[in-house]
């Protein structure tokens, strides 16, 4: 699938988090705070397509926690069945797996822990796959979290991002962990500060609770936002915000 260059259009991207093959949401990334929304992530993906989504954000939570993706075939099925732009992450840490997903039609592979722990590898991936690579910056008190948010790096998020840009990264997904799944609004200033500091496209994630939050995120300079719990809880109707 070709890369999605929509110019200045702000993207609202529904999230599908997969744990043990089911569509779930976690609260602040805690695996002991899981809500199961559906046993069939593919059905959910088709629902978001029907409501007008152009892109879906898929996370293999098993892979994020252990480093070994468990839901790759499900991700491939979502790519095939929806025909949408799919960006996915969660334990995707090898050249072979990235190539496999790109061959399957994925638009973006989102790397997290790999970027923090293996900068040399990240440079290789960026050189080979270009804009197909995006890096997830998951922030907790200004520091980057890794391993499915279970560990905190010594590096601050901006330092990490600038190092990644030098290695060829052209896009970030920025999440404020404290806001994720809490339904109390994004950290607009934190997002804006990060975007200003890095100077490349950033997709905001974490805390979107109502349509007004999306409007405010447009003002931060982000190129889009990921919406999860608010969609599943019916607080936001995707067809309306799109």
Which one is catalytic: 62, 138, 180, 213? 138
Distances (CA, A) of 230 to 15, 31, 69, 91, 233: 10, 19, 26, 25, 5
pLDDT at 118 (0 to 100):
85
Q: Classify domain 11-236 at the CATH class level.
A: alpha beta
Start-to-end Cα distance in the chain: 22
| 3-state DSSP assignment of residue 91 | coil
Q: Is 138 a catalytic residue?
A: yes
Q: Residue 203 in 3-state DSSP? A: strand
Q: What residue ranges do the domains of the chain occupy?
A: 11-236
Q: What percent of the chain has a predicted confidence (pLDDT) above 70?
A: 92
Q: What is the arithmetic mean of pLDDT over 134-158?
A: 80
Computed over every residue of the chain, the mean pLDDT equals: 90
Q: Of 56-70, 132-146, 226-240, which range is least confident?
A: 132-146
Alpha-carbon 62 to chain mean position: 15
* Segment 77-98, tens digit of pLDDT: 999 999 999 999 999 999 999 9
Strands (E), 41-150: 55-60, 85-89, 108-111, 133-140, 143-146
Question: What pTM was estimated for this model as a whole?
Answer: 0.92
Identify the weakest region by mean pLDDT among 118-132, 168-182, 198-212. 168-182
Distance CA 13, CA 5 (A): 15
Q: Indicate the burial class of 240 (C-beta count within 10 angstroms; 0-12, 13-18, 19 or more).
A: exposed
Alpha-carbon distance 12 to 6, whole Å? 12
- Active-site position among 17, 62, 180, 213: 17
Tell me whether residue 17 is one of the annotated catalytic residues.
yes
The band of 8, judged by pLDDT with boundaries at 50, 70 and 90, is low
Q: What is the pLDDT of residue 26?
A: 86
């Amino acid at each position: 699938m070709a890369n999605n260059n929509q110019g200045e259009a702000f993207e609202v991207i529904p999230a599908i988090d997969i744990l043990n093959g089911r569509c779930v949401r976690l609260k602040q990334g805690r695996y002991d705070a899981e809500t199961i929304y559906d046993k069939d992530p593919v059905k959910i993906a088709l629902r978001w397509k029907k409501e007008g989504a152009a892109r879906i954000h898929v996370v293999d939570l098993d892979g994020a926690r252990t480093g070994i993706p468990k839901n790759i075939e499900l991700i491939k099925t979502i790519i095939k069945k929806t025909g949408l732009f799919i960006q996915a992450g969660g334990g995707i840490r090898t050249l072979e797996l990235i190539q496999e997903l790109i061959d399957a039609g994925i638009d973006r592979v989102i790397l997290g822990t790999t970027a923090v722990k293996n900068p040399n590898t990240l440079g290789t991936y960026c050189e080979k796959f270009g804009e197909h690579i995006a890096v997830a910056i998951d922030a907790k008190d200004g520091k980057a979290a890794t391993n499915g948010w279970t560990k905190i790096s010594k590096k601050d998020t901006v330092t990490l991002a600038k190092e990644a840009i030098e290695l060829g990264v052209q896009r970030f997904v920025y999440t404020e962990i404290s806001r994720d799944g809490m339904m109390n609004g994004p950290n607009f200033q934190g997002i804006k500060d990060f975007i200003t500091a890095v100077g490349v496209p950033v997709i905001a994630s974490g805390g979107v609770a109502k349509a007004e939050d999306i409007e405010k995120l447009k003002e931060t300079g982000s190129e889009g936002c990921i919406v999860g719990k608010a969609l599943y809880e019916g607080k936001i109707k995707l067809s309306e915000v799109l």
